[in-house]
Amino acid sequence: MMPTGWCPGDRSVTGMLAAYPETSCVRIFFGPGDGLPASAWTDTRLRLAQVPAHADVIVSHKDPDVDAAAFVAAWQATGRTGRLILVPHHEPEQQSGGDPPPATFRRSWTRTREQVGDHPARHDGRLLLAVCWTLQWVRRVDAAGRRVNDWRTWWPTHEADAVDLVLGDWYPYDPTARNPFRPAAYEDPAAALTVMTELSAETGSPWGIAEINHSRITKAGGFGVDLDPDGSRCADWYRRMHAWARDNGCQVWAHFHRGGGDLTERPAEARVLRELIAQEAAAPRRLAPALETLRGEIERRWPGPGRVLTDSGHHADHRPNVRGAVDAIDVDVAGLDVEALLAAFTRHPAAGAWVHAGRGARADDGWTIRPYAGTNPGERRLHLALRPTAEAEQDRGPWLLAGDDGTDAGRLLSLLRDPAVAAQLRALPWQYTGAGLPRGMSALDVLHELLLTVRALGEIVAEQSPDPARVRAALAPPRGTPTRSPPRRPPRTPDRPLPSGAEETRRPSRTPTSTTR
């Protein structure tokens, strides 16, 4: 699922929800002087309080000295299940309307990190801290095609570990057009959005779209041609942009429904936005294959109705991600050996985190158990989450949950399929040296001596036979059977005294005392 929605612009949130039901993302902006009021979550006259509880909210602000801790605490107190994506200093590169100089920008990021960087909701994936730039500014080039602006000027290098998401505001830009901001054609999605995948790769953070709009290409809209008077081409382009973004890791998508982006009088584009919002809301909930395997093992080991729950609102991992996978389950611990389950869980390479009874641990923290102050799954529930990668989701390897007798059929079968294990098992019977065999000899030694004895008897028979060749042919090993030397073993000392109570089975003589034809 890629949460999809809008920035309401000059319209009310309730009006926008009526026009675009099932919205899963809303962006709310606090301008210069607005601060970041905690009361905005509960004052129903304000837009933020009108956003559906399940929707992600991108909150961007301009003021540097805000109380992010109080704002986040007020958000958590509402019990909302959607994520909060907090953007300190929306579009700082614009350097207008209250934007800070770089030094103030960096100090503000340090303040934000100190206030909420260690908040439990951030560890839950429900609180994300993000930077947001205008992509026209990032993409701008000179006559030689060189970029003239450096996004690193507005990157909090000293607080890079606190940046969870890189957001971009996308608007048209074509440096080859007479007016670069009013191109003559809709840009190919890959060319238009590759800048975001590049920024994601360079910063090491996932990416999303906080604002996007493209006016119809018409002369009335300030373009040089009347390419799209009914908006059908723009609608098709918008659909392709959304699909490309979804397929290339975009985490969130918000249309800028203001000014030229207000779709009230643009029915073709409004219809597509409505369809895309509904499409994401209806995205199937598919439990990651790795968790399907784990769920099966848990239910076999500790059967019972409602043992494993996949749909819960306390943690972001329970929501389908951009790959459509749900990366967490909650387990009812009644009658369950929690210690045994966690021991097996934390050994698995796909495991990412667990939460239970006010404590939790993460793989990226070395499974160090720490107090947990986030939204608890419940005293009788154990929350288990995967690492947030496609590789972890697709890992169908067994979790090796032991049964009552300490064995696990899945593990045993997995080991038996290993060629090296199978080879060892085949060799073990021939290495037996226990009771019933002469001391110092293995089963293979005994078999080899029996073979030598049979061949010696056969040679005696062959010498006395009228057809020696026929006897020797019958005794010959099958064609293609490798010849081997007798296995090495320590020299036997038959006269060495045996331990008290032990008896030795003497080796049979290699020379028969009589023969029968």
Average pLDDT over residues 279-308: 90
C-beta separation of 427 from 493 below 8 A: no
As a whole number, mean pLDDT of residues 152-158 equals 95
| Strand pairing report for 328-332 and 381-386 | antiparallel
| Exposed/middle/buried for residue 294 (C-beta within 10 Å: 0-12, 13-18, 19+) | buried
- Residue of 136 and 477 predicted with greater confidence: 136
Q: Choose between 83 and 408: higher pLDDT.
A: 83
pLDDT given at position 485: 47
Asked if the model's pLDDT at residue 472 lies above 50, the reply is yes
- pLDDT of amino acid 483: 52
pLDDT at 312: 59
How much is the average pLDDT of 39-61?
94
* pLDDT for residue 165: 97
Average pLDDT over residues 426-432: 73
What is the pLDDT at residue 146? 95
pLDDT of residue 150: 96
**What is the structure's pLDDT at 262?**
96
Q: What is the identity of the amino acid at 385?
A: A
Task: Report whether pLDDT(435) > 90.
Answer: no
pLDDT at 286: 87
pLDDT tens, residue by residue, 502-515: 444 333 443 333 33
What does R_g of the chain's alpha carbons equal in angstroms? 36
190, pLDDT greater than 90? yes
pLDDT of residue 437: 77
Helix axes 232-247, 267-281, angle to 10 degrees: 30
- The conformation of residue 147, written as its DSSP 8-state character, comes to B
Q: Look at residue 516 in the predicted model and tell me its pLDDT.
A: 36
Dihedral sign (CA 320, 321, 325, 328): negative
370, two tokens: 């720490």
Predicted confidence band of residue 245 (pLDDT cuts 50, 70, 90): very high
pLDDT exceeds 60 at position 500: no
pLDDT at 26 over 80: yes
- Distance (Å, whole) CA 89 – CA 34: 12
pLDDT at 494 over 90: no
Which residue intervals of 282-337 are DSSP H helices?
A: 289-301
Query: Which carries the bigger pLDDT value, residue 141 or residue 124?
Result: 141
* DSSP secondary structure, 367-400, as one string: T--EE--S----TTEEEEEE-SSHHHHT------
Q: Mean pLDDT throughout 349-367?
A: 89
Burial of 108: CB neighbours in 10 Å, binned 0-12, 13-18, 19+: buried
Instruction: Compute the distance between CA of residue 250 and CA of residue 155 in angstroms, rounded to an integer.
Output: 20
Q: How far apart are the C-alpha atoms of 339 and 451, rounded to whole Å?
A: 54
- CA-CA distances (angstroms) from residue 145 to 91, 93, 183, 246, 478? 23, 20, 17, 28, 77
Percent of the chain with pLDDT over 70: 86
Looking up tokens 């697709």 gives 394
pLDDT of 413: 57
Residue 76 tokens, joined:
């958590």
How confident is the model over 112-119, as a mean pLDDT?
95
What interhelical angle do 102-116 and 68-77 show, nearest 10?
A: 40
C-alpha closest to that of 350 among 305, 400, 387, 401: 387
CA distance 370 to 232: 55
Q: In terms of Cα–Cα distance, which of 156, 166, 159 is closest to 132?
A: 166
Mean pLDDT across the chain: 86
For residue 314, the model assigns a pLDDT of 60
393 within 8 A of 386, measured Cβ to Cβ:
yes
Contact in structure between 352 and 388 (CB atoms under 8 Å): yes
Q: Which residue has the higher pLDDT, 256 or 97?
A: 256
Q: Which residue has the higher pLDDT, 169 or 54?
A: 169
Distance of CA 317 to the CA centre of its chain: 10
> From the CB of residue 516, how many other CB atoms can be counted at a distance below 10 Å?
6
pLDDT of residue 479: 64
pLDDT confidence bin for 315, thresholds 50/70/90: low
**What is the CA 337 to chain-centroid distance, rounded?**
26
pLDDT band at 342 (very low <50, low <70, confident <90, very high): very high
pLDDT of residue 489: 41
Domain 4-281 has CATH 3.40.50.300: no
